[in-house]
Each structure stands twice: as C-alpha cells, then as structure tokens.
Structure 1
Amino acid sequence: MTIEKINRTIKGVAELKLLRLSDNAILHLPKPTGFTIDNAIDQRIQMTQNSQGETTRASSYIKGRMPTLRVVYSHLQPETLQFKIGNEFEPKTQKLNVVKDLLVTQALYAAVTDTARIGKNVVIDEPTQAAISRDNESVQLVQQPFSTFDGAVNDTFAVGAGFALKFSDNLVTAQETVSIVTSETFTGRGIADNLVGAHKIRASLITTNNEVIIFKADNLTPSFDGASIDSNAESVEIPFFINQVPGQCFPYEFFYTGKFVGC
C-alpha cells in the first residue's frame, strides 16, 4: 500500500441537493461550505468485576441512533431561511413600513422615480411618523398635507407621492436629523402559512484522490434547536434530523463509488 493510499481521506462536499418529499422539487441552493453528520449513537455499556474486585467494562452495544446532518451555507436566502423559521416563503403583495434617517439640509426632497427603489410606491399624505432629538429627548413632528404645506409652522413635515418630503424652516435651519417611518405596498416574497416539511438529500463527497462518495438520506426534517438568524454572520448552519425510512435498516447511505471527478 502506497503512502497516498494510506493517507487518503475526504476533502469536502462537491454537490448537495435537497428535494421536497411532497412534490420531489429540487431546491436550487448555493453549494454548501460545510457538511457534518452527528450520529448521536446511544450505546449501552455492560459492566462486570475483574479478579481484583474492580468494576470494569465487559462489553458494549448500540441501543439506538438519532443522527443529525448539519449543512453550512455562506448565503442567507429565502430557501435557506425557511429552515430556520419553519415556514416556507411565497409570493405576496403587502403593505409594510419603510424606515429612514435623514439629515435635513433643504426644504424639499424630490420623489423617488426609479420603480426598483424603496419609496416609489409611497402615496401622497401617507400617514407617517417622524421625530427629532432635542435636549436628549425624542420630539414628535406633526404631519401637514403635502399640497398645502406651510414651512413657517415649526416642527412639521409632509409626505408626497414617491416619498417626496417637505420640512419646516426651523428643521432646515437647525439641520436636524430626522427619523421617519412610513408605509408602502410591496410585491415580493414573504413568510407563508405552509410549514417546511420533510426532504431528502443527495450529495457527492470527494476524497483526496478525487474518488466520488455518494451520500443519500431519504427522510430529513429540519431541527429548530438554536434556530437563530444572524444577519451579519459569515455562514448559516442548517441542522436536519435524519429520520428512519420504513423498511430500511440504516437511515442514510455512504457509498464509495470507485469513480472519479476531474476538470
């Protein structure tokens, strides 16, 4: 046996695909950066006594298995987030809040004209909250109608179509920083009522000599232990329970194919 053969090991996961069991649809996710199986084997230790009267092990055996698969992605997307939330995402049209901080240096700020920009769908005189800080306390500004706005009335503002903004003269003179919360209608993807169900997985692992190992598990459900979402994290870990498949003796397959990859 050569040194290369004796040192051969797995160097990483090359391909991984999740498929929903409900409709066999593939989730077209980015390639993962991590792949860990925790077999969580429950083993029973059988005890005995040696000739000196000391308690020692006689044997051990496997009593149960509760394996978990942990897949790590470097992307936060709806189809990875669903495994942290427990619900799928779906197309939606919904009215939601828009928040903004603005340094007021002019009396009028023009409307957003780009349809792809936040604020484009804000309607004229949309009920809006705005505040400044004065003497270390939040001071609420009063909203006026946009078309009849009077800049001489202190601590006031107005909202026009497309998130155009008007501010009173005293706010402009003081160059106040204003916090604004308004609303507009969005068409995008939001959390659905549908729960994330069972999936199956197909993966290819590669050894140091480029041999392909096929991994498959036919009954995965997401584990929500520690289901935190850190928007600044460099990676997100998705844990799955590898569940038993009726009629099978082992919950997953790990198969050395004898076939190789190359570029």
Structure 2
Amino acid sequence: MGYFGLTEISRGSLAVWRRNFDAFIRTYKVNFIPPFVEPVLYLLALGYGVGALIEDVNGIPYPVFIAPALVSISVMYSAFFECTYSSYVRMYYQKTFDAIIATPLSIEDIVTGEILWGATRGTIYAGLMIPVLFLFGVIDLPISLLLIPCAIPAGILFASIGICFTAITPSIDSLNYPAFLFITPMFLFSGTFFPISILPESLQYFAFGLLPLANVVSLNRAITAAEFSPLILYNIIWIIGVAAIFFVIGLNLMRRRLII
C-alpha cells in the first residue's frame, strides 16, 4: 500500500459513486428543485432588489456581477454538505460504509466515490442553474457553458475539504462549526456580492491565497465576462492543486477514522 493510499484506489470507487447517484435519482423531485429556485430568489432579492440601489460594478450590471458567484456558491454548498452531513449519515447512522467495507471494496474506494459524488452533485446543480440564469439575461451562451467543466475541479475541492471534516468530527452536530466558521465567511467575503478589489491589499492576498471560494468565483466571473487574464491560470492551478492536497489528506484521515 502506498503511503497516501493512492495505489489502493480502483474502479470500485465508481460503484460507490453509482450507489449515491441512484439514491439521488430516486428522490429527484426534491433534489432538482433547489438549483432552479435558489438563483431566482437570489437574483430577485439581491440582483434586482439590492441591485437597484447599487451602481454598476466595474461597468457590469449588479445582477450580471453576482450571477457567476451564485453558480460558485451552489457548487460549494452542494459538494461540501454532501460530503459532510450526508457522508456522516451514511458512515455513522446508516452504516453504509461498514456494509461496503465488508465487500471487496476498500476504504479508498469509499472515500474516492464519496468525493466524486460530491463533485458530481455540485456539477449537476451548476448545470441546472445555467438555463435559469440565461433566461434572466444575466449570463451569455455558449461561453457560460464552460462553467460546467469548471465545476468539476471546484466540486472535488469542496468535497475533499468536506470529507476531511467528516473524518475528524466527533458527532454530526460538530459539523456546524466548519459550516458556520468556514463556509459562511467564504460565502460573504470571497468576492461573491462585492469585488475583492475594494478590500485592503493584505485581505486580497489572503482571499486569493487561502479562500477556495474566492478562486472559484474569480474563475467563473472571468469566464462569464469573457475576460481572460493571467489570474485565470492562477485560479485554475490553485483549485486543482489544493483539491489534490485535500483529497490525499481526506483519504488518510478517513482511513484512520474507519480503521480505528
């Protein structure tokens, strides 16, 4: 076994992914409603409500400015919470992980399958939001279709971070701490509803250096605006690199949790 357990990952992770996908499809009526309703509520309340009191942001109408951020937020929430609360329920209450480990599949298969499913759910939600945003006239096609492939590494990033918290949390109630102390601050201070450029320079470096959502929002906003700059390359490298780091950390933390 390799130190990071990567040599133990096999196509069995796809079986875990398929199991979660099938469960998702069985409740599709509930699962498909949020990505349609959520952007409408945000656009009405913030884009056209608060936005009516705000001048253009860097020459961009406010609803257009927040549109790519809404997609980014949806990917973050769906991937992160799928791999925290939902994964914890499958691990601790439903004993799904125990049942899978009793088969030829490994712990690495389970963790990888969970992360891939979290990323897939985030990508599905991003894909469902795009036609809604297009109908509101806040994004353009076909350029905004690039948000879908960009949601994959972003989803893996947030899903991997979620698995790390799931592996170390003592109880499901303790997952409230990363939700309130990590996810909520990112939701507010990652350039979602105002440009990061208005922050002090030190906080700008902090955001792009340490906040995952800031890089995802920056990337998605550049795509929808068709403004390609060296910052995009930085965002892509940062997202993929940090996702790989947390993926490996999540594998090892979850192996320790399940073996003990």
TM-score (norm 1): 0.20
Structure (1 or 2) with the greater helix fraction: 2
TM-score (norm 2): 0.20
Structure (1 or 2) with the greater strand fraction: 1
Larger radius of gyration: 1
